[in-house]
Amino acid sequence: MQTNAIVIDKYGDSGEFSEKIVDIPELKPKQLLIKVSSSSVTPFDIGVRKGNFKDDFSLSMPAITGTDVAGEVVDKGNEVNKFEIGDIVCGMVGVKGFGAYSDYAILGQSKAVKVPKDVDVKYAGILPMIATPAYNALFDLGKLVSGEKILIHGGAGGVGSMAIQLAKNAGATVYTTASKRNFEDLKNLGASEVLDYHNDKFNKVLSDMDAVIDTVGHDTYKDSFEVLKSGGRLVSLVEEPNEELAKRFNVSAMYLGGKFDNPLGKVIGLVSEGKIKLNIQKSFPLTADGVRDAQDYYETNHVFGKVSLAK
């Protein structure tokens, strides 16, 4: 079986995307073949295309990229026992796998969840790569519980806006950093206070935080130690732990890595219940031109929420 796919033949800018007819690999026992309805643009996808991670893993060219995927199960491996043909699912495609920027994608059973009937598949396609790190950072590493205070950096981004809502839903008091144009939207998502990262020195304003989620790094990461109470937790999505600062401030510093149980089913359940809002700032067609335009748009605009790719 073959499919039309959006591929790159080498690392580079968005002009490397082109459409090709490619063979679909034989499914492994626990894999699903998905007829793709939607995907998204993530910073990770852009980094993969540029070759930013080629020292960590290499792609076989031509490569099909795209991590977020949602669509219909049209075939499955002989050990798949959680899904049936015709199910609508979403999940994260393996980084060296048969990616989402294609008419068909291959998704591991453990990475997939069913999409509730009341959740639009277009929105399901933007969820996995923001829901998974946000949940893992907050609860698996950050151990956030009701009644605590948390600072979430980069609140307007996909992961940040998801983390704000998950933390608020868990009963925490949420503080975040963003630009002024996003203040009202972030308060509507559940932030109690929003600080302007251009002008406000958060480490001079805030204190006694139980936890901090860092999506920015650099000076923001280092300054975050100052706002934590003794025994607090700092989880970064971008910086390895600074043990010297952690010891000085008597806090725990962690980097979001390792393997956790897939939280996507819990989060999409909250979406179905109306407790989590998903924001698509702009949507593009899932074509080579559309992926090019979508990734360029993401890199040159301040995106609140997500950029979608849909059939």
Angle value at C-alpha 218, between 214 and 220, nearest 5 degrees: 50
- Pairing state between β 252-255 and 228-236: parallel
Q: How does pLDDT run across 66-77, given as a tens digit for each residue? A: 999 999 999 999
Contact 174, 235 (CB under 8 A): no
Asked whether residue 271 is assigned to any structural domain, the reply reads no
- Pair (80, 184) in one structural domain: no
Q: Which residue has the tokens 């972030």?
A: 186
- Pair (12, 109) in one structural domain: yes
- Pair (92, 16) in one structural domain: yes
Asked whether residue 216 is assigned to any structural domain, the reply reads yes
Query: Per the structure, how many domains does the chain have?
Result: 2
Whole-angstrom Cα distance, residue 271 to residue 265? 10
Q: Which of 8-12, 224-228, 259-263 has the lowest mean pLDDT?
A: 259-263
Q: Is the pLDDT of residue 242 over 90?
A: yes
Q: Is the pLDDT of residue 250 over 90?
A: yes
- Pair (162, 116) in one structural domain: no
What pLDDT band is residue 198 in, cutting at 50, 70 and 90? confident
Q: How does pLDDT run across 100-139, given as a tens digit for each residue? A: 999 999 999 999 999 999 999 999 999 999 999 999 999 9
- Pair (103, 139) in one structural domain: no
Contact 286, 309 (CB under 8 A): yes
**What's the CATH code of the domain at 42?**
3.90.180.10
Return the pLDDT at 23.
Answer: 95
Q: Is the pLDDT of residue 25 over 90?
A: yes
- Pair (300, 218) in one structural domain: no
**What is the rounded radius of gyration, in angstroms, for the C-alpha atoms of the chain?**
20
The pair of three-digit structure tokens given for residue 190, joined into one six-digit string: 């559940």
- Pair (50, 151) in one structural domain: no
- Pair (239, 159) in one structural domain: yes
Asked whether residue 270 is assigned to any structural domain, the reply reads no
Asked whether residue 274 is assigned to any structural domain, the reply reads no
Tell me the angle at which helices 158-169 and 264-272 cross, rounded to the nearest 10 degrees. 80
Asked whether residue 264 is assigned to any structural domain, the reply reads no
Asked whether residue 239 is assigned to any structural domain, the reply reads yes
**What's the CATH code of the domain at 144?**
3.40.50.720
Mean pLDDT of 160-185: 95
- Pair (139, 121) in one structural domain: no
Average pLDDT across the chain, whole number: 95
Rounded to a whole number, what is the distance in angstroms from the first to the last CA of the chain?
Answer: 20
Q: Is the pLDDT of residue 92 over 80?
A: yes
- Pair (239, 285) in one structural domain: no
- Pair (116, 184) in one structural domain: no
- Pair (251, 299) in one structural domain: no
The residue segments making up the domain with residue 232 are 130-255
Asked whether residue 193 is assigned to any structural domain, the reply reads yes
Grouping H, G, I as helix, E, B as strand and the rest as coil, residue 298 is helix
Return the pLDDT at 56.
Answer: 86
Whole-angstrom Cα distance, residue 250 to residue 48? 36
The whole model's pTM is what?
Answer: 0.93
* Residue 49 amino acid letter: R
Asked whether residue 232 is assigned to any structural domain, the reply reads yes
Q: Is the pLDDT of residue 65 over 90?
A: yes
Whole-angstrom Cα distance, residue 92 to residue 99? 9
**Pairwise pLDDT comparison (167 vs 303), residue with the higher score:** 167
Q: Which of 35-44, 55-64, 246-255, 279-288 has the lowest mean pLDDT?
A: 55-64
Whole-angstrom Cα distance, residue 55 to residue 83? 35
